[in-house]
Amino acid sequence: MDAQEIIARRVAQELRPGNLVNLGIGIPTLVSNYVSPDLKVFFQSENGLIGTGPIPEQGLEHPLLTDAGGRPISALPGASTFDSAMSFGLIRGGHVDVTVLGGLQVDAHGLLANWMIPGKMVPGMGGAMDLVSGAKRVIVAMQHAAKGKSKIVERCNLPLTSSRPVSLVVTDLAVIGFPDGKATLLETAPGIGVGEVLAVTEAELVVGGTVPEMKI
Amino acid sequence: MKAVSVEEAVAMIPTGASIMIGGFMGVGTPERLLDEVVRQKKSNLTIISNDAATPGKGVGKLFDAALVSRLTATHIGLNPKAQQQMLTNQVAIDLIPQGTFAERIRAGGCGLGGVLTPTGVGTLVAEGKRQIEVDGKPYLLETALRAQFALVHAFLADYLGNLAYALTSRNFNPVMAMAADTVIVTAEHIVPVGVIAPDHVMTPAPLVDYLITNSNG
């Protein structure tokens, strides 16, 4: 199983029947591959759709039915469409149960930076700040490290996305939560020891007793 | 509402105008109006649109032709030309959160001075803004946005100017249709009055000033 699949499979386990879920681009998009249709999870696309379905077959795309990146998608039976004020009302108003976002850094208190690298990458925050400020649960799905550097840091040196901490971080090595506001190692990836995770994590992680492996 | 040709409509827009443009990554964008803005070389424009789309598509065409001097948007990451024009200071770009973008325009169209949002508190977005506590929770005061023109794309328009939108092409079009002095609309289909049922009208006719005719003549 590759790193992205580990992350996507583990995040998918966090979704509950009937949840309204917003998936960001990148690894978060893969999560829907591991969610059973029986769960009846609603996926929102913030450009104005609840009930997104799979990418349509070539030739069956509709030019007015796209995801937030402008790529063709489909709508499942029972889908609904709305304008952007409604879409972000759903997000900021706490009606979205779970948002899954990518991350550049998450710090020891759960603060997320994921929208800007000053001087290098200034694309704009799009919907990220509203999602982190307003969704009921915020899950970050990202690689544990990039170019050998831990993305779980003591303190973010990149601009923050929100002053509200995230709920959970799922990486290819670990699941990290923030009970009492402190980064805590909740699970390790299959075959990965606690010591291995601690060795590649810049932030100090709380380890309470035996840490179980992800069941994926 | 007056039905006009696309040439007549764009001729009304002066150089240096402020223009809201509907659409999300070019979906729900009035392409015919933008093509004509490029043809008539309306320059020095202040554009308010969710994104810069991609080169050759939607708002991206205005960056291809270097007609924009100021842009308020939420994301320009998929248009390298817009990013380049930002980095070389050809275009002043104000990037704001998407929910805040929608609400500032909605406020502009609804007679509100602005809105209070938790989005951006404690981040770079809060710089220079008033923070107001309500019931112990901090919010940013985000002021209303309006423009001289709104260029809107609908799926259906009737002969009076009632509008309905399709699927994900609705996005910012309805809020922008309320927040500009002059509202110009293109539609995929122009239909007789009554075809859009009252319950299905998303933008009521009195909000529309000009509807672009669909004839080629």
Q: Please name the residue ranges forming H helices in B76-151.
A: 80-87, 98-109
Q: Closest approach of chain B CAs to the CA of A157, in angstroms?
A: 12
Q: Give the model's confidence band at B216: pLDDT under 50 very low, under 70 low, under 90 confident, else very high.
A: low
The answer to whether the CB of B141 falls within 8 A of the CB of B132 is yes
Q: List the one residue out of B179, B51, B99, B112 whose CA is nearest residue A87.
A: B99
Report the interhelical angle of B98-109 vs A84-92 (nearest 10°).
120
Looking at per-residue pLDDT, the higher value among A69 and B107 belongs to: B107
Label residue B111 left, alpha or beta by phi (over 0 means left) and psi (-120 to 50 means alpha): left
Cα–Cα dist B40/B77, whole Å: 27
- Please answer yes or no on whether B98 and A46 come within 8 Å at the CB atom: yes
Coil, helix or strand for B98? Answer: helix
| pLDDT at residue A119 in the model | 84
Cα Rg for chain B, rounded, in angstroms?
17
- Closest-CA residue in chain A for B154? A64
- CB-CB contact of A108 with A183 (8 Å): yes
Distance (Å, rounded) from C-alpha B215 to C-alpha B192? 15
Given a cut of 60, whether residue A4 has pLDDT beyond it is yes
User: Which pLDDT band, with edges at 50, 70 and 90, does B217 fall under?
Assistant: very low
Least CA distance to A132: which residue of chain B? B119
Percent of chain A past pLDDT 70, that is, above it, reads 100
CA B61, CA A164: separation in Å to the nearest integer?
38
Rounded CA-CA distance B23/B52 in Å is 10
Q: Which long-range contacts (CB under 8 A, 24 or more apart) does A32-35 make?
A: A33/A8, A34/A8, A34/A9
What tokens were used for B42?
């309306």
The chain B residue lying nearest A124, using CA atoms, is B75
- Residue B43 backbone dihedrals phi, psi, to 5 degrees: -115, 180
Q: A167 and A138 in contact (C-beta within 8 Å)?
A: yes
Q: Is A75 on the interface with B (CB under 8 A)?
A: yes
Q: Which residues of A touch B96 (CB under 8 A)?
A: 125
Nearest to A70 among B25, B95, B172 (CB): B25
Most A-contacting residue of B51, B119, B140, B163 (CB-CB within 10 A), to test interface: B119
The better pLDDT of the pair A198, B216 is held by A198
Put simply, the answer to whether A130 touches B100 (Cβ < 8 Å) is yes
Answer for the pair B49, B71: CB distance below 8 angstroms, yes or no. Answer: yes
Q: Is the pLDDT at A120 greater than 90, yes or no?
A: no
Cα B77 versus chain centre, distance: 18
Q: What does the pLDDT read at residue A121?
A: 80
Residue-averaged pLDDT of chain A: 96
Contact B119 A129 (CB under 8 A): yes
More confident residue, B137 or A119: B137
Is the pLDDT at A8 greater than 50? The verdict is yes
Is A137 exposed, middle or buried (CB count within 10 Å of its CB: 0-12, 13-18, 19+)?
A: middle
As a dihedral over the C-alpha atoms of residue B180, residue B130, residue A111, residue A96, rounded to 10 degrees, the angle is -40
Give the Cα separation of B63 and A111 in Å (integer): 35
DSSP of A28-41: HHHGGGGS-GGG-P
CB A187 within 8 A of CB A213: yes
Is A60 an interface residue toward B (CB < 8 Å)? Answer: no
How many CB pairs lie under 8 A apart between chains A and B? 151
A66 in contact with chain B, both atoms CB, cutoff 8 A: yes
B102 and A88: CB-CB below 8 Å?
A: yes
Global ipTM: 0.96
pTM over 0.90: yes
Does residue A46 carry a catalytic annotation? yes
Percent of chain A residues topping a pLDDT of 90:
93
Measured between beta carbons, the chain A residues lying within 8 angstroms of B171 are: 47-48, 83-84
pLDDT tens digits, one per residue of A32-83: 999 999 999 999 999 999 999 999 999 999 999 999 989 999 999 999 999 9
pLDDT digit string (tens) for A74-116?
999 999 999 999 999 999 999 999 999 999 999 999 999 999 9
- For residues B169-187, give the mean pLDDT: 98
Does the structure show a pLDDT above 90 at A214? yes
Q: Is the pLDDT of residue B83 over 70?
A: yes
Helix (H, G, I), strand (E, B) or coil at A110: coil
Specify whether the CB–CB gap between A23 and A43 falls below 8 A: yes
B12-57, pLDDT tens digit by residue?
999 999 999 999 999 999 999 999 999 999 999 999 999 999 999 9
The CA distance from A210 to A207, in Å, is 8
